[in-house]
């Protein structure tokens, strides 16, 4: 199927709507990333202690306890559902950008793999597979990079289309 719609050619009011949506989405997403950094120090050991606790670490500044099964299931469930919607809507916008098909497909579909690996990985880590903290960290970084590149592309194609398109 071929859509004959391009982001940079949309009416001004639709572009403004998309800019507002993507701006708010970015505030929420990067606010979440800030929360992750504050609770895990953005490293695998911090991820492990956040979900499994650090009661055995006598040098810990902040005492953390292992999350209950209900807490883990709530975290995983809420994040998979909300992130799937977030990236679906972002993929819809990306689908009408004028970028290479390979890059477009990567940015549209990679986040769904990262969502499963990141939040499913948190459950696997919590279940006792400690090396999965590296999968969670890597997939989380990849998801964030995909989000960031997608946002940059969308903003650039709306705000500075003359750089990309000769009219």
Segment 76-83 long-range contacts (CB within 8 Å, at least 24 positions apart): 76/119, 76/120, 76/122, 76/123, 79/115, 79/118, 79/119, 80/115, 80/116, 80/119, 80/120, 83/111, 83/115, 83/119, 83/143
Evaluate whether 157 touches 14 at the Cβ level (below 8 Å).
no
Cα(142)–Cα(94) distance, integer angstroms: 17
Sign (positive or negative) of CA dihedral 110, 113, 116, 117:
negative
CA 165, CA 9: separation in Å to the nearest integer? 10
pLDDT value at residue 61? 76
In the prediction, which pLDDT does 167 show? Answer: 47
Q: How far apart are CA 65 and CA 11, in angstroms?
A: 52
- Look up the pTM and report it: 0.91
Give me the DSSP letters along 49-63. Answer: HHHHB-TT-TT-SS-
Model pLDDT, residue 166: 54
Render each residue's pLDDT in the chain as its tens digit; 167 residues: 566 889 989 999 999 999 999 999 999 999 999 999 999 988 999 898 989 888 877 777 778 889 999 999 999 999 999 999 999 999 999 999 999 999 999 999 999 999 999 999 999 999 999 999 999 999 999 999 999 999 999 999 999 877 766 54
């Amino acid at each position: 199927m071929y859509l004959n719609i391009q982001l940079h050619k949309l009416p001004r009011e639709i572009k403004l709507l998309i800019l507002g949506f993507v701006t708010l989405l970015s505030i929420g997403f990067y606010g979440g990333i800030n929360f992750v950094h504050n609770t895990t120090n953005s490293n695998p050991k911090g991820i492990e202690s956040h979900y499994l606790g650090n009661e055995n670490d006598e040098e810990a500044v902040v005492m953390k306890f292992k999350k209950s099964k209900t807490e883990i299931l709530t975290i995983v469930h809420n994040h998979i559902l909300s992130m799937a919607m977030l990236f679906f809507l972002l993929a819809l916008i990306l689908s009408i950008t004028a970028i290479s098909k390979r890059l477009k497909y990567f940015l549209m579909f990679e986040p769904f793999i990262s969502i499963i690996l990141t939040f499913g990985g948190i459950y696997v880590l919590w279940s006792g597979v400690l090396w999965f903290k590296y999968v969670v960290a890597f997939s989380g970084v990849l998801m964030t990079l995909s989000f960031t590149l997608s946002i940059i592309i969308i903003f650039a194609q709306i705000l500075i289309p003359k750089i990309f398109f000769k009219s």
